[in-house]
Structure 1
Amino acid sequence: MQVKIDTKEKFHVITPIEPALSATMTDGMAIALLPFLQNDVKNVVLDLQQVAAIDAAAAAKLLQIQQQFYENNASFVSCNLQKNVTAFLSEHELDDLLNIAPTESEAWDIVQMEEIERELLDTEDIEFSDTDD
């Protein structure tokens, strides 16, 4: 899968340069996206503005990749979906499972909120472990 990568302070914007995401690309999606979990900046915004079609296997793989990011305390937000991709995800009831923002700016807002939430949860965990003694 060919992608364009734009690194920001707190996240990477990954833009697939493909007109469609299909089952044959699912391994490539994992190879392109999962290595970001090893970086200091782990959060990813997947900009799907150039993707005009997606199939069920590719959508399921995106959901699996998103879950791996959240299990590793990192954000994964998709944005700029074309109408037919949004309709497909809705039709297959995946739109509520995927973290989707209308624009890159709103995806960045989600990443920031999730970063704050993780920091607060980490602080609460430390406070609770201190009071357990």
Structure 2
Amino acid sequence: MKYSIDKKEKYAVFQLAEENLNSILAPQLKSELVIFANEGVRNLIFDLSQVQYVDSSGLSAILTANRLWKPLGSFILTGVTHPSVKKLIEISRLDSVLSIIPTVEESIEFVFMEELEREINAEDGDQAPADH
């Protein structure tokens, strides 16, 4: 499986450098994602811009990533540009479950916005009076 990962302080961009995200690649992809989650990558931007075909195993890997990152921070799908990939995501109604943002740049801005929101909410939680 070919991919690149660009790790920054607040996020990592995982770009899958494959045309097909299918049953052959999905198990290996899931393993890599578990490793990144365990390494403490808080926000993952998953770039599908080079992917032209996704099957149900590929969707399962994407959903696994979404589930892994829920407690950590944000999971963002970007680069969903190929018509067959876009159509599969829409048909399976994953566009209502996943955070899908058009570009990596916009995804990075989204991560910073969500991080800021989490920090503000954490501060509000610290200052809230205790109800006993």
TM-score range, shorter chain: 0.7 to 0.9
Tell me, what secondary structure is at the counterpart of 1:68? helix
Q: What CA deviation, in whole Å up to 9, does each residue of 1:64-83 have, x standing for no partner?
A: 221220122x2111111122
> Aligned equivalents of 2:33 and 2:21: distance in 1?
14
Q: Which residue of 2 aligns with 1:36?
A: 36
Q: Which residue of 1 aligns with 2:74?
A: 75
**Within 5 Å, which residues of 2 pair with 1:81-100?**
81=80, 82-100=82-100
* Paired AA for residue 86 in structure 2: T
> Aligned equivalents of 1:17 and 1:60: distance in 2?
18
Cα deviation, residue 14, structure 1: 0.8
Q: Is residue 2:126 matched to residue 1:121? A: no
* Paired AA for residue 27 in structure 1: P
Q: What CA deviation, in whole Å up to 9, does each residue of 1:35-79 have, x standing for no partner?
A: 22234542111111110000122112211221220122x211111
* Paired AA for residue 36 in structure 1: F
Structure 1 unmatched runs, 5+ = none
Question: Once superposed, what is the RMSD of the aligned Cα atoms?
Answer: 1.8
8 Å Cα contact 1:47-1:78 kept in structure 2: yes
Identity %: 28
Cα deviation, residue 96, structure 1: 1.6
Q: Which residue of 2 aligns with 1:24?
A: 24
8 Å Cα contact 1:22-1:57 kept in structure 2: yes
Corresponding residue pairs, total = 131
What TM-score, normalized to structure 1? 0.86
